[in-house]
Amino acid sequence: MSSFKESIKRIIRLSRKPTWEEYSLTIRICILGLLILGGYGFIIQLIALVLQALPR
């Protein structure tokens, strides 16, 4: 258990507050990922809609 505490202390000592550029890059990557996932969902929904409208 003490090695776990030591590793936590080491991580906290090495960590630092991100710069505005790092925040900005992270936000842009997250938004891009959300847009891609939303696009996939929209395309799948359109395909399902078209397949339901086809006569059987």
pLDDT band at 56 (very low <50, low <70, confident <90, very high): confident
Q: Note the pTM of the prediction, 2 decimals.
A: 0.66
Question: What are the CA-CA distances from residue 55 to residues 43, 46, 48 (Å)?
Answer: 21, 16, 13
pLDDT digits (tens, 9 = 90+) for 5-49: 999 999 999 998 999 999 999 999 999 999 999 999 999 999 999
55: confidence class by pLDDT, cuts 50, 70, 90: confident
Specify the DSSP class assigned to residue 19: P
Residue 2's pLDDT band, with cuts at 50, 70 and 90, is: confident
Q: Write out the DSSP string of 31-42.
A: HHHHHHHHHHHH
Predicted pLDDT of residue 24: 97
